[in-house]
Amino acid sequence: MVRGFQSGIVAQQGLIAHGRGEAFDYLFGETTPKSSRLATKAAVALLLGARNPVISINGNTAALVPQDIVKLARSVPAVLEVNLFHRSLARERRIASLLKRNGADQVLGLEAKARMRIRGVASPRRSVDAHGIGNADVVLIPLEDGDRAEALRKAGKAVIAIDLNPMSRTSRSANVTIVDNIIRAVPELLRITLRMKPLSKSRLSAIVSNFDNGKNLGKAMQDMIHYMQGWEA
Ligand code: ATP
């Protein structure tokens, strides 16, 4: 993260947001909670069953999992779009070129003329690519802010979040929330995608319909409590 900050990929605010995430990671013993495995399967089912899946990329995601997020996009396949809260063209370009160095063919979000707005978002993140998030039916939003997660839902999109805080607005408003550290969640998403690729559309849609995000967030809280109850100094 520090290297990402020094090379202009991560914003100052991104460092603080990372610390918020790490605080929750300690409450799970820095391991993948059981509840997140179910969410990962539902997320993969959504991605593989989508018409136009898009993965939204911010500075933290690019700094932490540049190679695995590109591999995930290629294996679904899904479009990659840079979308920043603290936006600057220079940072967008640096993130896009980092993704390209890690194997991405195309990265959307930089072409000013293809932009459209998502209603209900006050930050610069409201501006999206009309051929990317604008046209997506399923959007994976790792490390997102609550406003945009809610606005994407209101815009009729299915939202997959990766967020270590099971109580955040993002976690609560997504269709599927993977409560895990992005550095563990993305390699796992990739592994499960490769495994679930042969499944039929009807099987994928049954996995999505059987998943209840509210209930699973409750399980994530239970996982946290369970870990803390078993901890002895
Ligand atoms: P919200 O607006 O959703 O209520 P917030 O104000 O904390 O939450 P942001 O700071 O924009 O929103 O979001 C960052 C989120 O990302 C936080 O919930 C934090 O727990 C989470 N986070 C930070 N680092 C990681 C990480 N490495 N892996 C997973 N989640 C992370």
The CB of 163 under 6 Å from ligand 1? The reply is yes
d(CA 160, CA 177): 6
Please tell me the residue having the least CA distance from ligand 1 atom 9: 145
In the reported structure, the alpha carbon of residue 177 is separated from the centroid of ligand 1 by a whole-number distance in angstroms of 12
Residue with tokens 């999992």: 65
Give the residue from 122, 129, 130 showing the smallest Cα distance to 146. Answer: 122
Atom of ligand 1 nearest to the CA of 164: 30
Torsion of Cα atoms, 195 then 199 then 201 then 207, to 10°: -70
The CB of 20 under 6 Å from ligand 1? The reply is yes
Q: What is the pLDDT of residues 13-41, one digit of tens each?
A: 999 999 999 999 999 999 999 999 999 99
Cα-to-chain-centroid distance, residue 28: 19
pLDDT band of residue 115 (cuts 50, 70, 90) is confident
HEC-encoded secondary structure of 143-157:
CCCHHHHHHHHHCCC
Please tell me the residue having the least CA distance from ligand 1 atom 5: 145
In the reported structure, the alpha carbon of residue 198 is separated from the centroid of ligand 1 by a whole-number distance in angstroms of 33
Distances (CA, A) of 40 to 100, 132, 178, 230: 26, 23, 6, 25
The CB of 27 under 6 Å from ligand 1? The reply is no
In the reported structure, the alpha carbon of residue 190 is separated from the centroid of ligand 1 by a whole-number distance in angstroms of 21
The CB of 86 under 6 Å from ligand 1? The reply is no
Q: What is the pLDDT of residue 214?
A: 98
Q: What is the pLDDT of residues 122-168, one digit of tens each?
A: 877 788 999 999 999 999 999 988 998 999 999 999 999 999 999 99
Number of domains in the chain: 1
Whether the pLDDT of residue 200 is over 90: the answer is yes
103: domain CATH number is 3.40.50.12640
Q: What is the pLDDT of residue 92?
A: 95
Give the residue from 6, 29, 48, 4 showing the smallest Cα distance to 143. Answer: 4
The CB of 177 under 6 Å from ligand 1? The reply is no
In the reported structure, the alpha carbon of residue 201 is separated from the centroid of ligand 1 by a whole-number distance in angstroms of 32
Whether the pLDDT of residue 3 is over 70: the answer is yes
The CB of 128 under 6 Å from ligand 1? The reply is no
The CB of 61 under 6 Å from ligand 1? The reply is no
Whether the pLDDT of residue 64 is over 70: the answer is yes
Mean pLDDT value across the chain: 95
d(CA 144, CA 57): 10
Domain interval for residue 87: 2-232
Q: What is the pLDDT of residues 65-95, one digit of tens each?
A: 999 999 999 999 999 999 998 889 999 999 9
